[in-house]
Amino acid sequence: MESAKVFFEKIAKDWSKNHHEKSNQKLRKIFDQRIPELQAPVLDAGSGTGVLIPFLYDKIKNEKCIVEYDIAFNMLMRAKVQHISYREVYYAEGDGHDIGFKERSFGTIFCFRFIPHLEDKKKALKEFYRILVPGGRFFILHFMDHKGLNHLHRGAEPPIHSHKMPPAAELTQIIELAGFDVEDYEEKEDLYFVQAIKRR
């Protein structure tokens, strides 16, 4: 069975086709209504082809700094080409379970359509905690609930077919145990949202 890295490298050329204007409208509404000013540097974890870059950029009020972080090199290269006009955006290839940055490197971590693909979510959360500054925020966002996500992934090719998302109420408990305070969360048919802050 191929690895998740191989899978995402293969589909990178078509990944942006899954993101259309309706998705941008949803993102704009969520960022306008729910996302506070972001503290840089911002880690866009599981960034894919960089669809969040314009939205994250607008929410950083002071010096801009965004790191696009993905397991698939091809995703990152497409992101770089598609968002070449954005300055102070950097690209790093790596695994969410073992993030190659120093402790307290980031003010914000944003995970859009990423958490189900982490095999060991507790280990990844420990990494997020390690690289966030005290008081730094951590966000999770999807456009469907955990049932919809799990149904979608079951219909995908291996290894994605086994990737799962727990209910938000369950995941927030795991997040709290990792050293965060959950400030806000909501799960409904067309939204899965979590906002947490690293305890000082």
CATH for 174: 3.40.50.150
> Residue 116 and residue 4: Cα distance in Å, rounded?
12
Rounded to an integer, what is the distance from CA 87 to the centroid of its chain? 20
Average pLDDT score over residue span 167-185: 98
> What is residue 87's predicted lDDT score, i.e. its pLDDT?
94
Query: For the chain, what is the domain count?
Result: 1
pLDDT tens digits, 21-72: 889 999 999 999 999 999 999 999 999 999 999 999 999 988 999 999 999 9
- Say if CB 173 and CB 166 are below 8 A apart: no
- Say if CB 92 and CB 69 are below 8 A apart: yes
pTM of the shown model: 0.95
Q: Is 194 exposed, middle or buried (0-12, 13-18, 19+ CB in 10 A)?
A: buried
Q: 101: domain range?
A: 4-198
Q: What is the DSSP letter of 157?
A: P
